[in-house]
Structure 1
Amino acid sequence: MTPDDARHQYAEAHTTPEAELLRRLNRETHVQVLAPRMLSGHLQGRLLSMISHMIRPRRILEIGTFTGYSALCLAEGLTPDGELHTIEQNPELETRIRRYVAAAGLTERVHLHIGDARQVLPTLTENWDLVFIDADKINNDAYFELVIRQVRPGGFLLIDNVLWGDKVLPSYAVKPADKDTHAVRDFNGKIQADPRVENVFLPLRDGLLVVRKV
């Protein structure tokens, strides 16, 4: 076991456990779905829930649903009249997502959109309190620019996988970088220099960028 693995296990052991429904979805995703590492999982899921509870958002947007784990975590902090819109490109995941949303009693409050987020986003006219971007990394900047005007002043964006397996680090040994690494590195630099936002880079799991619109 590496030191990072040990730290992660210790952190999970000292974090509020998953609810049974989330634990079942976590297990089912790892057994039945390709690329289960894309799941937010216990530690990050509890962080998403905690942030959502702190913000108490009325409107949440998620770009990249996967099997729905993160959407269920984010929805835990919604106001009583709050709603969450989530976009997933892979139609093969739709049935599973809807089944778990229904099991959580959120069918009327979680709205699933199947399709390319770049086409879906212009059709959504909400003002967002919280946005979670966790889709294909090559389009992080496109997604950000499509939603930033609809994020209320003081609203938050969370962008996942901003370490990209540590490949964005200057010390990373493999060169040249692939197009996704270039995209993530460029996006991180853009956010750091963007006067519209304040940001904190958290080295949690594969990196989580917390951004507040000023």
Structure 2
Amino acid sequence: MNSLEDYILNHIDKESELLARLYREAHVRLLNPRMLSGHLQGRILKMLARMCRPKKILEIGTHTGYATLCLAEALPESGEIHTIEKNDEMEDFIMQQFNQSSFKKNIYLYIGDALEIIPQINGMFDMVFIDADKRLYNEYYDLIFDKVNANGIILADNTLWNRKILGKPHPNDNQTIGILAFNEKVKQDKRVEKVILPIRDGLTIIHRL
């Protein structure tokens, strides 16, 4: 073993064969494979969902579908996960993964702008996972907040943003500026409890009171 992460991965639940294959294919076929959640974060997402027992999940930013499949593992048989991906070039890759999954009947994929699609999805959510355009985290948060049930959970990925949040961002670095604004907004929001986990690139857990 070469690192602490190797040790951790050797002592937690394994990812499924489908997820392991997805991970390999992403690194062969895609330009930015490191954006997918991966083994450790995937098991954390599943564990959080298992503990929260959501019946309906919203995911903003599907990318490869890795995190989607991890969250779907924790759904009840009648549960739903609605996932939105803006990049239409990812659709074929995503659907290839979903169609191989035993959870495909629980997954609803939308291709397009999340800010336009979210208002069209009926009903309330027990869990929301935000992992899309960092410049728009505040807009996503405002849009989904009233669609989250009381005691529901909002997860936001990349909230430590490769440690760029520790310095003054370049005026043109709108993604870092977006993450900083989101972190401050959540800090000041008295409607929620919140904590940032320093795993990978930062995962914020937000509990709606």
TM-score bin, normalised by smaller chain:
over 0.9
8 Å CA contact retained: 2:55, 2:76: yes
CA shift at 1:144, angstroms?
Answer: 0.7
Match of 1:28 among 25, 30, 33: 25
Tell me whether 1:213 sits opposite 2:196 in the alignment.
Answer: no
Tell me whether 1:141 sits opposite 2:141 in the alignment.
Answer: no
Q: Which amino acid aligns with 1:187?
A: F
1:1-214 equivalence runs, <5 A: 6-169=3-166, 172=167, 176=170, 178-214=173-209
SS at match of 1:138: helix
8 Å CA contact retained: 2:165, 2:180: yes
Unaligned runs of 5+ in 1: none
Give the alignment's TM-score, normalised by structure 2: 0.95
After superposition, the C-alpha distances for 1:84-142 in whole angstroms (9 at most, x for unaligned) are: 10000111111121121111123321000000101111101221001000001000010
Quickly say closer, same or farther: Cα 1:108–1:8, change in 2 above 3 A. Answer: same
After superposition, the C-alpha distances for 1:134-183 in whole angstroms (9 at most, x for unaligned) are: 001000010111101010000001000001110001xx4x7536221111
Q: How many residues align?
A: 208
C-alpha distance in structure 2 between counterparts of 1:73 and 1:175, whole Å: 33
C-alpha distance in structure 2 between counterparts of 1:78 and 1:142, whole Å: 27
Q: Which amino acid aligns with 1:12?
A: L
> Percent sequence identity over matched residues?
46
8 Å CA contact retained: 1:156, 1:210: yes
SS at match of 1:53: helix
Give the alignment's TM-score, normalised by structure 1: 0.93
Tell which deviates more after alignment, 120-129 or 147-156: 120-129
Unaligned runs of 5+ in 2: none
C-alpha distance in structure 1 between counterparts of 2:113 and 2:191, whole Å: 26
Q: Which amino acid aligns with 2:88?
A: P
C-alpha distance in structure 2 between counterparts of 1:38 and 1:201, whole Å: 19
**Once superposed, what is the RMSD of the aligned Cα atoms?**
1.5
C-alpha distance in structure 2 between counterparts of 1:194 and 1:175, whole Å: 23
SS at match of 2:181: helix
8 Å CA contact retained: 1:55, 1:77: no
CA shift at 1:29, angstroms?
Answer: 0.5
C-alpha distance in structure 1 between counterparts of 2:170 and 2:72, whole Å: 40
C-alpha distance in structure 1 between counterparts of 2:90 and 2:170, whole Å: 34
C-alpha distance in structure 2 between counterparts of 1:78 and 1:106, whole Å: 9
